[in-house]
Amino acid sequence: MQKDDFSKSYVVEGKLALPYTYFAGRVGSRFLTTLRDHKTIMGVRCDTCSKVFVPPRQTCERCFSDIRDNWVTLENKGELINFTVVREADKHLPRKTPYILGLIRLDGADTPMVHIIEGIEPDKIAEGMRVRAVFAGESEGTILEIAHFEIVPPCGMRSRQISTNS
């Protein structure tokens, strides 16, 4: 038998469906329902460590205090502290590639959250830019209640000037 005889080799196309159930928990559910019903981003604060966590969590990661009821309301604006450009397309991804995933630290928060950045070319984006949440028109009860974050132009600049290639 010729081991390098590939005349009978071929490729089978498949499609794998992955049904899953995601349970947000009590803290996560309150975060999502507040986003949906009040268009408000909330986090929880650990008074011992003076840290505000967004997305919220039940337990402080530093001192293990139970912080589930210590809610604070945050601004819809924040700072882009890091980002990545997604270039590999896959059909389960939320946007056509290339698109930008940013780590956003909201004003008043100590931890960053991940979301999509829109309205700027991937080669124009930079750490430290100011961003603002844009809420989705239709509600679906997920983190995509926030459609994406957009770049807030620095004082005196019009948004068009940074979102084009000129």
Partner 1 sequence: MSEYYGIDVDDVFNTMASRFRPEGAEGVDAVFGYDITEKGKWKLSVGQGRMALDITEDLSGCDVVVRVDEQTFAGIIAGKLDAMAALSANKMKVEGDFNLFAVTGKIFTKYVPPGQEVEPEQELVMLKRTISVNQRFATGPIMGTFLQGLKEKTILAIKCPGCGRLQSPPREICAPCRIRNDSWVEIGPAGEMRMLEYCYYASPDPLTGETRETPYGAIGVLLDGCKDNEVFWHLLNPQQLNDVRMGMVMGDKVVHGTRLRPVWSANRTGSINDIKYFEIDE
List the one residue out of 31, 33, 30, 72 whose CA is nearest residue 50.
72
Q: By CB under 8 A, is residue 26 in contact with partner 1?
A: yes
For residue 72, give Cα distances in angstroms to 31, 47, 54, 90.
11, 11, 10, 36
The single residue listed with the structure tokens 């929880």 is 44
> Is the bond leading into 153 cis (omega within 30 degrees of zero)?
no
The answer to whether residue 5 forms part of the interface with partner 1 (CB under 8 A) is: yes
Whole-number Å distance between alpha carbons of 85 and 82: 11
Of 125 and 143, nearer to partner 1 (C-beta) is 143
Q: How is residue 113 annotated by DSSP?
A: E
* CB-nearer residue toward partner 1: 97 or 142: 142
Contact with partner 1 (CB under 8 A) among 71, 79, 92, 131 = 92
How many binding residues for partner 1 (CB under 8 A)? 35
Residue 124 contacts partner 1 per CB under 8 A: no
The reply on whether position 20 binds partner 1 by CB under 8 A is yes
Please say which residue, 93 or 157, places its beta carbon nearer to partner 1: 93
Task: List residues binding partner 1 (CB under 8 A).
Answer: 1, 3-26, 28-30, 32-33, 90-92, 141-142
